[in-house]
Amino acid sequence: MITGGVPHYLKEIKKGRSVAWQIDRLCFSKNGLLKEEFDKLYASLYDKPDTHITIIRVLATKWMGVTRS
Number of helices (H) and strands (E) in the chain: give both, helices first: 4, 0
Nearest CA to 39 out of 50, 47, 31 is that of 50
**What is the domain partition of the chain in residue ranges?**
1-34, 36-69
Which one-letter amino acid corresponds to residue 25?
R
pLDDT over 90 (residue 8): no
- For the segment 28-49, what is each residue's pLDDT rounded down to a tens digit? 999 999 998 888 888 999 999 9
The rounded Cα 44 to chain-centroid distance in angstroms is 14
Whole-model pTM: value is: 0.62
